[in-house]
Amino acid sequence: MDDEDAPLRLGHITYSNCFPVHAGLIDRGPPAGVRITEGVPSYLNGLLDRGEIDVAPCSSIEFARHAGDYRVLPDFVIGSRGPVRSIQFLTRRPPEQLDGCTVAMPTASATSVVLLKVLLRVRWGVQPEFVWFDQATEDPFAAGAEGALFIGDVALRADLFPDVPTRFDLGAEWMAHTGLPFAFAVWQAGGGTDAQLRDLHAALLESRAYGLANRAELARRYAEHFGFSAEFLDRYWADLSYELDEPMLRGLNHFYELAAQIGEIPSQPEIRFVDVAG
Ligand SMILES: C=C(O[C@@H]1C=C(C(=O)O)C=C[C@H]1O)C(=O)O
């Protein structure tokens, strides 16, 4: 993998939330020496774990599970500073009454699953039973769950189980509970040479700037691809956060602290970064 001529294998999340950072790479094509593989977050998490890709916007909780092997690429995040809209917890009863009930978790996710477990325990004081479901094909409520989590573009659908009365935006709940932003995904490197990662970092800065400068136009051109209106997509992208700044890092560290407290990760990891200064 440290072979000078081997391409850098970059993961891309198929959800619309990832597009603004990768906008330039997708819209104009990746730079020479970068090969893109796409999928849902848990698929990319698995590819990075198995060394089948070198770097990707993986679930932020994954870093804590591989802190000895991965490094975080500075500057980039898929995050929220309050409502995120695309991470929705739907429940048939008030969350404080979910003790011992079945809550279904989407196999596509890793971070939001832990975020919901944290909130259920520390904000709502309950310990449900958890089951997995495929949010692309399965109806967790028909299967008997009292609550279910949805992520990504599936969670943005206007017709998402309208008969389930109570729903929580987990970005908003996290902010209400901690006063902090939330980092759902960070770009994590498990492979690639230092030079490749430095070049990728520069390319991503440009790609994100292109996405920001052309947001409304890109929303028009990609609306049909994602299955939303241009106005909706533009607003959604405008409201998400793509900068891994100090408050976002405080939110991430606090999330790791709480995840460790409820036993989802062995301990709060120290975040190690790729050195992009050279
Ligand atoms: C904001 C989102 O964040 C996502 C949630 C992830 C997770 O729960 O593991 C991983 C990557 C992000 O795409 C979303 O999917 O809507």
Distance 41 CA to ligand 1 centre (A): 7
Residue 246 Cα to ligand 1 midpoint, Å, equals 20
Residues ≥6 apart with Cβ < 8 Å to 4: 193
What per-residue confidence (pLDDT) applies to 5? 76
Q: Is 207 in the pocket of ligand 1 (CB under 6 A)?
A: no
Instruction: Output the CA 111–ligand 1 centroid distance in Å.
Output: 7
Cα-to-centroid distance, 112 and ligand 1 (Å): 7
The CA-atom distances, in angstroms, between 148 and each of 43, 97, 135 are 20, 14, 9
> What is the C-alpha separation between 9 and 156, in angstroms, rounded?
29
8 A C-beta contact, residue 54 and residue 1: yes
Q: What's the token pair of residue 169?
A: 């935006």
Res 165: pLDDT: 83
Nearest ligand 1 atom, CA 156: 16
| CB burial readout 214-234, b (16+ within 10 A) else e | bbeebbeebbeebebebebbb
Q: Is 84 in the pocket of ligand 1 (CB under 6 A)?
A: yes
Q: Is 15 in the pocket of ligand 1 (CB under 6 A)?
A: yes
What local confidence, expressed as pLDDT, does residue 1 receive? Answer: 46
User: Helix axis angle, 111-118 relative to 246-261, nearest 10°?
Assistant: 70
Pocket probe for ligand 1: among 72, 78, 170, 174, the residue whose CB has the most ligand atoms within 8 Å is 78
pLDDT per residue rounded down to tens, the chain (278 residues) = 445 679 999 999 999 999 999 999 999 999 999 999 999 999 999 999 999 999 999 999 999 999 999 999 999 999 999 999 999 999 999 999 999 999 999 999 999 999 999 999 999 999 999 999 999 999 999 999 999 999 999 999 999 999 998 999 999 999 999 999 999 999 999 999 999 999 999 999 999 999 999 999 999 999 999 999 999 999 999 999 999 999 999 999 999 999 999 999 999 999 999 999 87
Q: Whose CA is nearest to atom 5 of ligand 1?
A: 184
* DSSP 8-state secondary structure symbol assigned to residue 69: T
Residue/partner pairs of 202-205 with CB below 8 Å, 24 or more apart: 202/276, 203/24, 203/25, 203/31, 203/34, 204/21, 204/22, 204/25, 204/73, 204/75, 204/76, 205/75
Give the position, in ligand 1's atom list, of the atom nearest the Cα of 61. Answer: 9
* Residue 156 CB less than 6 A away from ligand 1: no
Q: Is the CB of 241 under 6 A from ligand 1?
A: no
CATH numbers and ranges of domains, the chain: 8-79+183-243 (3.40.190.10), 87-178 (3.40.190.10)
Atom of ligand 1 minimally distant from the CA of 86: 16
- What DSSP character marks residue 263? T
Q: How far apart are CA 59 and CA 41, in angstroms?
A: 6
Residue 7 makes CB contacts below 8 A (sequence gap 6+) with 33, 34, 35
Q: Quick one: pLDDT at residue 155?
A: 98
